[in-house]
Amino acid sequence: MSDAAEVRLESSSPAETRSIGQRLGRALRPGDVVVLEGDLGAGKTTFTQGIAAGMGISEAVTSPTFVLAREMPAGATGVGLTHVDAYRLTSLEEWDDLDIDLINTAVVIEWGARVQRALPSDRIAIRFEGDDESRTLHVTRHGADPSGLLGALAGEDR
């Protein structure tokens, strides 16, 4: 298996972006890390709302910009979700201070490129291009993908 694989997905609405996120949410397992990148308003939080729905998490998902991280209890899939916004972090020391559990929960990190040196080498990165009505999601797998996340996003049966 190569070190990186890519999938490109198109979304024409926020509802479609959430639906793509739901596919991923159903596949996430403890220890999975998903890094989201894109301009403000590109759909990162909308996508994370879909992830939580796919995991069966009923808690409302809003951007954790000011609290930096939100932990959500496990939903129907039995996996908890930690939603992080690294936009305001200025150093890896600040990331370390958050003490994010990268082993026992699935972790979604908005603006995660800022802390990528502290992340596991096995992760999924998604770059959002476009706006709320029409966007392209460029999905890249880094390292191994034991949970089959890339296939789940591409709509492949598991």
Note whether residue 132 is domain-resident.
Answer: yes
- Comparing 21 with 153, which gets the higher pLDDT? 21
Identify the pLDDT of residue 156. 67
Specify the CATH number for the domain of residue 62: 3.40.50.300
Identify the pLDDT of residue 145. 79
Residues of the chain above pLDDT 70, percent: 94
Note whether residue 133 is domain-resident.
Answer: yes
Give 133-152 pLDDT, tens digit per residue. 789 999 988 888 767 888 88
Residue 131 has pLDDT above 80, yes or no: no
Domain count, the chain: 1
Q: Which domain holds residue 99?
A: 4-146
Note whether residue 17 is domain-resident.
Answer: yes
Residue 12 has pLDDT above 50, yes or no: yes
**pLDDT average, residue stretch 26-53:** 92
Asked if 38 and 44 count as a contact pair (C-beta separation under 8 A), the reply is yes
Note whether residue 56 is domain-resident.
Answer: yes
Cα 70 from chain centre: 13
Identify the pLDDT of residue 4. 54
Contacts of 119 (CB under 8 A, 6+ apart): 33, 35, 102, 109, 112
Note whether residue 90 is domain-resident.
Answer: yes
Identify the pLDDT of residue 24. 94
Identify the pLDDT of residue 147. 76
Note whether residue 151 is domain-resident.
Answer: no
Note whether residue 21 is domain-resident.
Answer: yes
pTM confidence score: 0.89
Which residues does residue 110 pair with via DSSP β-bridges, in sequence order? 36, 85
Note whether residue 130 is domain-resident.
Answer: yes
